[in-house]
Amino acid sequence: MNKTYGGAATLVQTTLAEAAGENGVDVAQSKNVTVWNLAIAGGGLAGGILLETLGVTSFPCIIYSLTLRINCSLASVGTRISIHKTLSDTKKSYP
C-alpha cells in the first residue's frame, strides 16, 4: 500500500481553522505558518551541521533512521486512533 502525505498541509490548515472557530482562525493559521517555517529552517540547519561534521556519506543512515522512527510513530498513532474509535463505537452500541 502506498502512503502519500501530499495533502497533509491542507488537512492541517483545514482542521486548525475548524477547531479555532471564527474568532481564532487568524491566530491559528499564523501559528501554523510559523511552526512550518521553523521546521524547514531547523531541517536546513540540522542538514548543514550534519554535512559539515559527518559528511555526505552519513545522510543515508540518518534518513533511514528518521524514516523508521516516523513510520513507527505513525503506526503507533494509527493504532491508538483505531483502538479509541473501536472503544467509542462499542460504548455507542452498548449504553
Stretch 71-94: mean pLDDT: 63
- pLDDT, tens digit, for every residue of 51-72? 999 999 988 999 899 899 988 8
Same domain? 49 vs 83: no
Q: What is the pTM of this model?
A: 0.59
HSE of 39, CA atoms in CB hemisphere, 13 A: 7
Same domain? 31 vs 61: no
- Cα angle: 17, vertex 18, 19; to 5 degrees: 95
Region of poorest pLDDT, from 22-26, 55-59, 67-71, 76-80: 76-80
Range of the domain at 75: 55-95
Contact 32, 12 (CB under 8 A): yes
Same domain? 40 vs 86: no
